[in-house]
């Protein structure tokens, strides 16, 4: 349980860090929180020749939220920072709700949001949240920078759209329009464990109460976050309304649609059938909650 | 070929220390084998059990998921910073009084986690204590007396304040 030998670099600027990554390519890994990378190194599942420690680069540490609710999460922003931020709670409640489920307090103190996303563990909550929120991922390298939609960023187990010289430097979340409601639910055997299934939901209703946008995204259901078009289709155009029986029927129909549109792999703790069952139940509950929340943030009819 | 050595200077329990370390040396091993502070225990070495929890710049972190070389310029606190056998820290005194440990292997990590927790949350309810303990495994006690000890330490601190 000791990592193999590596060279350690501690650049003081982003430019220096990117130059090092360009030089070493796949042989090098960035080190931010290290809460996924270091266990993998201790197990010798990964054996980077070079670690490029980002922790001395002040410009990567920013968590910024505009008055309108546009959120920028820099590469050194740790989970605990996001978890405790009042503006995140106000403007990006889905992220605030889900981040509490990531591992344990000590791990959230150290682990970074961007590192979590770049690690691309299919069981992790945050990739599903970013797909549900249509986050933009800002990748930088010595060649320049580009923006990658979250839906295109996650390409498989521990696999992303990042090139070997790129760093995920920032995640950008746009403010949620009026009439948007969100919810995140998961089931794990113990708090902080990997979830057997998790569901992130975003719904948006217009001034008339009709659903104009819906995203239902699972974590742990495959090799990447899985957005269910079938489940969203049940919700789009529907009027969740305030009648509890109607909302329950709609939520259950959308949950059932999710369950039939995923093909979960099964885990040591949950068979594929059980995971599908969990997806259905969790989605129905999360959709009902998100719809109820959307109804409290209805856009005014004058807009 | 000898591994490259990196000079580090850090503050350990209030005292400045200097050392030469290879990059792959885990902070947990540095603390135990190089500094001789064996109160920090090593359980799983992949961030699950919490036995090696120390304070890094005042914040609880897994020492097995940090490299010693990363602590250059930083401050760490280990369980040795709390009390002595003659003069226990109030948290340690509460664990003694409530029988909050049996084999004691997990205790140092729990104490360091709870020290930071109680500084942030001086009047926690049981649910908050249990949540804060979620990253520390204990296979002896069933946690009941640990929770009681933390609640007692909080109560004692509030009475003394």
Interface contact B64-A7, CB threshold 8 A? no
**pLDDT by residue (tens digit) across B80-114?**
999 999 999 999 999 999 999 999 999 999 999 99
Backbone angles phi, psi at B28, to 5 degrees: -60, -40
B7 strand-pairing partners: B20
How many Å apart are CA A37 and CA B23, to the nearest integer?
A: 15
Considering only CB atoms, which chain B residues are within 8 Å of A107? 47, 62, 65, 135
Considering only CB atoms, which chain B residues are within 8 Å of A31? 70
Domain boundaries, chain B: 5-81, 90-160
pLDDT per residue of chain B (161 residues) written in tens, 0 to 9: 689 999 999 999 999 999 999 999 999 999 999 999 999 999 999 999 999 999 999 999 999 999 999 999 999 999 999 999 999 999 999 999 999 999 999 999 999 999 999 999 999 999 999 999 999 999 999 999 999 999 999 999 999 87
What confidence score (pLDDT) does residue A301 get?
Answer: 54
CA distance B41 to chain A (A): 15
Residues in chain B: 161
Residues in chain A: 303
Helix (H, G, I), strand (E, B) or coil at A4: coil
Interface contact B47-A55, CB threshold 8 A? no
What confidence score (pLDDT) does residue B160 get?
Answer: 84
Q: Across the A/B interface, how many CB contacts are shorter than 8 Å? A: 85
B77 strand-pairing partners: B55
**pLDDT by residue (tens digit) across B58-69?**
999 999 999 999
Mean pLDDT by 10 residues, chain A (303 residues): 95 98 98 97 97 96 90 98 95 97 96 98 96 98 98 97 98 96 95 92 95 97 96 96 90 97 93 97 98 85 46
How many Å apart are CA A126 and CA A102, to the nearest integer?
A: 8
The number of beta carbons lying within 10 Å of the beta carbon of residue A11 is 17
Is B5-81's fold the same as B90-160's? no
What confidence score (pLDDT) does residue A61 get?
Answer: 83
How many Å apart are CA A54 and CA A178, to the nearest integer?
A: 37
Global pTM? 0.96
The strand pair at B15-22 and B5-12 is best described as antiparallel
Interface contact B65-A34, CB threshold 8 A? yes
Considering only CB atoms, which chain B residues are within 8 Å of A110? 56, 59, 61-62, 65-66
Considering only CB atoms, which chain B residues are within 8 Å of A39? 46-47, 65
Cβ–Cβ contact B143 with A under 8 A: no
ipTM of the complex: 0.95
CA distance B95 to chain A (A): 21
Q: Taking the CA atoms of A125, A128, A133 and A136 in sequence, report the sign of the dihedral they define.
A: positive
What confidence score (pLDDT) does residue A303 get?
Answer: 41
Backbone angles phi, psi at B121, to 5 degrees: -130, 80
Query: What secondary structure does DSSP assign to B41-93, as a single string?
Result: --SSSSSSS-TTEEEETTEEEEGGGSBGGGGTT-EEE-GGGS--SSS--HHHH
Cβ–Cβ contact B121 with A under 8 A: no
How many Å apart are CA A129 and CA A198, to the nearest integer?
A: 10
What confidence score (pLDDT) does residue B104 get?
Answer: 97
Cα separations in angstroms, A121 against A115, A194, A224, A242, B124: 11, 10, 8, 37, 33
Nearest to A110 among B26, B65, B113 (CB): B65
Interface contact B134-A104, CB threshold 8 A? yes
Interface contact A5-B22, CB threshold 8 A? yes
> Do B151 and B129 form a contact (C-beta atoms < 8 A)?
yes
Residue B60 sits at the vertex; the CA angle it makes with B124 and A120, to the nearest 5 degrees, is 110
Considering only CB atoms, which chain A residues are within 8 Å of B3? 5
Nearest to B46 among A8, A43, A192 (CB): A43
Instruction: Please state which architecture CATH assigns to domain B90-160.
Output: Orthogonal Bundle (1.10)
CA distance B14 to chain A (A): 21
How many Å apart are CA B148 and CA B101, to the nearest integer?
A: 11
Q: Could you tell me the fold of the domain covering B5-81? A: Ubiquitin-like (UB roll) (3.10.20)
């Amino acid at each position: 349980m000791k990592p193999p030998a590596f060279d350690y670099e501690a650049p003081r600027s982003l430019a220096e860090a990117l130059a090092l990554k360009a030089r070493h390519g796949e042989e090098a890994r960035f080190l931010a929180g290290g809460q996924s990378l270091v266990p993998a190194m201790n197990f010798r599942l990964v054996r980077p020749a070079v670690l490029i420690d980002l922790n001395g680069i002040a410009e990567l540490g920013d968590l910024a939220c505009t008055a309108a609710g546009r959120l920028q999460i820099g590469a050194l922003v740790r989970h605990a920072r996001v978890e405790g931020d009042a503006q995140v709670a106000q403007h990006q409640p889905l992220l605030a709700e889900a981040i509490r489920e990531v591992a344990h307090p000590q791990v959230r103190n150290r682990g970074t949001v961007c590192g979590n996303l770049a690690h691309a563990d299919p069981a992790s909550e945050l990739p599903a949240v970013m797909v549900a929120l249509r986050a933009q991922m800002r990748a930088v390298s010595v060649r320049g920078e580009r923006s990658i939609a979250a839906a295109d960023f996650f390409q498989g187990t521990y696999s992303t759209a990042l090139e070997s010289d790129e760093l995920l430097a920032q995640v950008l979340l746009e403010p949620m329009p009026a009439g948007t409601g969100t919810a995140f639910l998961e089931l794990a055997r113990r708090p902080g464990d990997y979830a057997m299934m998790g569901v992130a939901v975003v719904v948006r209703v217009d001034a008339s109460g009709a659903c104009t946008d819906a995203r239902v995204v699972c974590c742990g259901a495959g090799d990447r976050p899985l957005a269910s078009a079938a489940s969203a289709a049940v919700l789009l155009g529907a009027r969740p309304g305030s009648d509890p029986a109607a909302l329950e029927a709609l939520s259950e129909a959308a949950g059932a649609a999710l369950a039939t549109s995923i093909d979960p792999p099964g885990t040591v703790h949950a068979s594929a059938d059980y995971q599908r069952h969990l997806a259905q139940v969790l989605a129905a509950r999360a959709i009902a909650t998100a719809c109820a929340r959307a109804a409290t943030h209805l856009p005014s009819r004058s807009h | 070929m000898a591994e490259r050595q990196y000079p580090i200077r850090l503050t350990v329990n209030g005292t400045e220390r200097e050392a030469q370390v290879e990059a792959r040396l885990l902070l947990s091993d540095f603390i135990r084998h190089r500094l001789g502070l064996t109160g920090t225990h090593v359980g799983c070495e992949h961030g699950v059990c919490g036995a090696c929890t120390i304070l890094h710049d005042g914040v609880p972190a897994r020492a097995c998921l940090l490299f010693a070389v990363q602590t250059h310029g930083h401050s760490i606190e280990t369980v040795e910073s709390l009390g002595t056998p003659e003069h226990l820290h109030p948290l340690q005194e509460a664990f003694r009084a409530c029988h909050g440990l049996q084999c004691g292997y997990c205790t140092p990590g729990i104490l360091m986690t709870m020290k930071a927790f109680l500084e942030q949350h001086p009047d926690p309810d049981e649910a908050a204590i249990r949540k804060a303990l979620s990253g520390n495994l204990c296979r002896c006690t069933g946690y009941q007396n640990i929770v009681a000890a933390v609640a007692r330490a909080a109560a004692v601190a509030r009475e003394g304040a």
